[in-house]
Amino acid sequence: MLTAKLTDKGQLVIPKVIRDQLHLVKGSAFAVTLESGRVVLEPSRPSKAHRITDWPGFGRPLVKLTTAQLCADVEGYNDA
């Protein structure tokens, strides 16, 4: 059984072996509940708002385009 200590600031260090298995990193968020006298930590998963396509500078949401729409920008282009 692994153990952890609560600091005077109320912080708890999750053992590295568990962090690695759950792919937890600095800043990982958790849902914290109390169940039958036990503290339960459940990692929160990123919401849709945290998709890379929603980050500034990573384009726009995906839109279906026809072949004609995709080619419109290059029509009339000349390698001259």
Q: Where are the domains of the chain?
A: 16-71
Q: Are strands 38-43 and 30-35 parallel, antiparallel or unpaired?
A: antiparallel
* Interval 11-41: pLDDT, tens: 999 999 999 998 888 888 899 999 999 999 9
Helix (H, G, I), strand (E, B) or coil at 19: helix
Q: Are 1 and 17 in contact, with CB atoms under 8 Å apart?
A: no
* Interval 71-80: pLDDT, tens: 877 766 666 5
* Interval 44-78: pLDDT, tens: 876 555 666 666 556 666 677 788 887 877 766 66
The predicted pLDDT at position 66 comes to 84
Comparing C-alpha atoms, which of 2, 8, 44 is closest to residue 25?
44
Helix (H, G, I), strand (E, B) or coil at 18: helix
Q: Rounded CA gap, 44 and 53, in Å? A: 20
